[in-house]
């Protein structure tokens, strides 16, 4: 992956394309504040970066990845969601195995994160890829 891409994943970004409104996004990879010359990305951040790269290689859009991470982190309380072994993709969406998510029967099993629609692995088996 390009260092500039990893940098935006770890630091977030704010851009103002000419003639357009400002666009910004928060970091999606764990990074620690540090002074110059010090490592700012812990091992968990490197693992998350590898997963983002795998999603991008599978052609999942950054907008979808960012939205999925926000949902898993904020609404469901999954810390370091990108480092979870329960992530999959069908090449277009981020899927999460909610089978360990207690208390919400509707979310149990493989579910598309953003729409919260259950998927049938048998139907997607040919396209399904676990992100490791």
**pLDDT tens track, the chain, 132 positions:** 788 888 888 888 888 778 888 888 888 899 888 777 666 889 999 999 999 998 998 889 999 999 999 998 887 787 888 888 888 887 888 988 877 665 555 556 778 899 888 877 665 555 555 555
For 11, 101, 102, 109, 121, the CA distances from 105, given in Å and listed in that order, are 36, 8, 8, 9, 17
Residue 8 burial class via C-beta count within 10 angstroms: exposed 0-12, middle 13-18, buried 19 and up = middle
- Residues near 42 by beta carbon (within 8 Å), at least 6 away in sequence: 30, 31, 32
Q: Please report the pLDDT score of residue 100 as a whole number.
A: 65
Residues in the chain: 132
Q: Tell me how far apart the alpha carbons of residues 102 and 109 are, in angstroms, rounded to a whole number.
A: 11
Question: Which two tokens mark 69?
Answer: 């991470």
Contact 58, 35 (CB under 8 A): no
pTM of the predicted structure, to 2 decimals = 0.78
Separation of alpha carbons 85 and 32, rounded Å: 23
């Amino acid at each position: 992956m390009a260092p500039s891409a990893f940098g935006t994943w770890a630091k977030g970004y704010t851009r103002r394309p000419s003639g357009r409104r400002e666009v910004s996004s928060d970091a999606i990879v764990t990074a620690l504040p540090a002074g110059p010359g010090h490592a700012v990305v812990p091992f968990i951040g490197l693992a998350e970066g590898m997963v983002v790269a795998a999603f991008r290689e599978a052609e999942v859009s950054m907008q979808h990845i960012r939205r999925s991470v926000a949902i898993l982190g904020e609404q469901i309380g999954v810390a370091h969601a990108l480092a979870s072994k329960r992530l999959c993709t069908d090449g277009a969406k981020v899927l999460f195995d909610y089978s360990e998510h207690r208390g919400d029967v509707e979310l149990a099993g493989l579910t598309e994160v953003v729409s919260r629609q259950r998927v049938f692995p048998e139907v997607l088996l040919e396209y399904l890829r676990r992100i490791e």
